[in-house]
Every structure is written in structure tokens, then in C-alpha cells.
Structure 1
Amino acid sequence: MKTLDQWFEEYAVSHQNPKNKAIHYICVPAIFFSVLGLLMSIPSGFLNSIFHLNQPIIENWGFVALLFVSIFYIRLSVSMAIKIIIFSFLCLILNHYIGQFVPLWAFSIGVFVIAWIGQFYGHNLEGKKPSFLKDIQFLMIGPAWVVQNLFSKKQ
């Protein structure tokens, strides 16, 4: 199994252009956020009937997916997993409140489409294909790479 640093080194190869990197710092979290919003939009009556928590922020399919996502990150790095989990909970909360004002699924689709357009534009500038075309796991590495680059001390 690759280490987190090995994933980052491989991911960084197609993310050297400063404009592409800047686009990724915006679009990768937006895609993560929108996918979570889409998952939260799936009716969760089944979950409600099992848990009876009446807590919409954690009683939804987005939260269930995050449990599995967290396992992926914990296997790579506990400290990175904690950072991603904190970001994920902020996304859950914000998506919940957005869903109080507009249809969350529609909002999430809009964000998703716009962010992917940005991603492909950035890779066009870079002149390299997105990493996930080589290995789908890079879809999970992208958010960690953004967190690492935005919040690391070695800037």
C-alpha cells in the first residue's frame, strides 16, 4: 500500500501549474462538498427507522459514506483523517442548512458541474490529464492534497 506522501508525490506531477493548483484549491473542496450534498439528498427513511436519532446532520447517506471515507484516510494518516473529518462535518452542517432554503440536490448538481468544468480547465492549462484517469483512488487523494498544501507549514 502506498503511503500518503507517495500518493502526494504522484498527484503533484500533474499539478505543477500555479493556476491549475489555485483552481484545484477551490474546485476539489467544492466537488467533495457537492458529492456529500447529493448523498445527503437521498431519502434516508431507512436510516431514520433504524437509528431513531432525529439528527438530520448525521442520519443521512452522506454521513454513512463518510464513515467509509474516513477508513480510507485513517489507513493513510490519522492526522490527515482528522483534518478531513473536521472538513466533512463542516460540509454536512453547511449542506444541511443550504437544504433548508433550496433543493439540496439541485444546488449540489450545479456546484458539481461548475467545479468539474474548472478542474478540466485547470488540467487543460497544465497540459496533463487528471490523475484519477490513471487511478480512481486519486479522487480521494485530491482533498487530502488540498488540505496538505493549504495548511502545511512548508509553503
Structure 2
Amino acid sequence: MNTAAETQSSAERPIDRWFANYSGDHRNAGNQLIHIICVPAILWSVVALLWCIPSPGTWFRAGFWAGLAMLATALFYYRASRMLGLGMIVVYVLMGLLTRWLHDTYGTSTLLWLAIGVFVVAWIGQFIGHSKLFEGKRPSFFTDLTYLLIGPAWVLSKLYRKLGIRY
């Protein structure tokens, strides 16, 4: 016997409504490609910037604030979709390992400047994608800041669809 949740179509899930609205602002193939590159770059740069914030006390290591933010957003994604949440955890683990390696190898100052550079360049790319050259529409987060969280999951959902994974 099917439960109400099982009979509910996937289009009725909040994450699918978020993706439908987000996709409406990202129809141009060039803009989508820019987002597939720039959204993960921005996400990593935010992780790296948070990594550079000094940790409180002696109990915590570098990366404490980044870990806290990754945990909080992973819970957001997991609540929206278990598969997206698990996928974002994998993404965060990989980003965390990369960031830790960069931090341990080159130091906080280099990581900070690298993160700032990636952040700026990737946002320039995003705004070019939304310019009249490509999409010609304002970025979704101008309507609702939640779209800053939806973008990474939207990129991951595109990968899932390509691999035939249901989310």
C-alpha cells in the first residue's frame, strides 16, 4: 500500500519547485555551462574563506568555521533530498580535503588570497552568464537569497540526471 508521501509526485517536493524556478533563470546553454564551472568554484572559495577565520580556543583547528558551515548546509540539502544531501557531503569532504591540503602546504595567507581570487573571478563569470551576452536575466538570488544554496544542489542534480541517479 502506498503512503501519501510515496504517491506525491516529485514535482510537488519543495526542492523540485526550487529547481524549476532556478532553471527558469538559467535556460541558456552558455549560462548553464558557466554555472557548472563557477558555482562549485564559488562554493569552494567560500569554504576556503571560512577556513581562514581563526578558530576559537585551543580545542578547534583551522577549518572549524568552514566545517560548521558545511555541516549546516549539508543538513539543509539532506532535508530537501537525501541523495542531494549525501552528494553534497561528498562534495564537502573533497573540498575540505583540498582546502586543508592547500592550507597546510601554503599557509593561511596564500589560501586566503587564492580564495578571494577564485571568488571574484567566478562571480564575474556568473554575472557574464546572466548578462545580455547569454541569459539576459538577473541572478536568482536577487529574488531570494536561498538560491545561493540552491545553485550548488542544482549543479549536482544536473550531474545526477546525467548519471541516471534519482534525487
When normalised by structure 1's length, the TM-score is 0.88
CA distance in 1 between partners of 2:82 and 2:159 (Å): 18
Per-residue deviation at 1:3?
1.1
Per-residue deviation at 1:151?
2.8
Per-residue deviation at 1:101?
2.0
Partner of 1:44: 55
Matches within 5 A, 1:42-81: 42-46=53-57, 48-49=58-59, 60-81=64-85
- The one of 28, 39, 60 equivalent to 1:28 is 39
Which of structures 1 and 2 has the bigger CA Rg? 2
CA distance in 1 between partners of 2:137 and 2:159 (Å): 22
Partner of 1:101: 106
Question: What is the aligned-residue RMSD (CA, Å)?
Answer: 1.7
Partner of 1:117: 124
Matches within 5 A, 1:131-146: 131-146=140-155
When normalised by structure 2's length, the TM-score is 0.82
CA distance in 2 between partners of 1:71 and 1:151 (Å): 19
Q: Which amino acid aligns with 2:146?
A: Q
Per-residue deviation at 1:45?
3.9
Which residues of structure 1 form unaligned runs of 5+?
none
Partner of 2:96: 92
Q: Which amino acid aligns with 1:82?
A: L
> Identity over aligned residues, as a percent?
43
Partner of 2:29: 18
CA distance in 2 between partners of 1:73 and 1:40 (Å): 21
Q: Number of paired residues?
A: 147
Q: Which amino acid aligns with 2:129?
A: G
Point out 4+ residue stretches in structure 1 off by more than 4 angstroms. Answer: none
Q: Which moved more, 1:100-109 or 1:34-43?
A: 100-109
Per-residue deviation at 1:30?
0.2
Per-residue deviation at 1:2?
6.1
CA distance in 1 between partners of 2:25 and 2:127 (Å): 12
Which residues of structure 2 form unaligned runs of 5+?
1-11
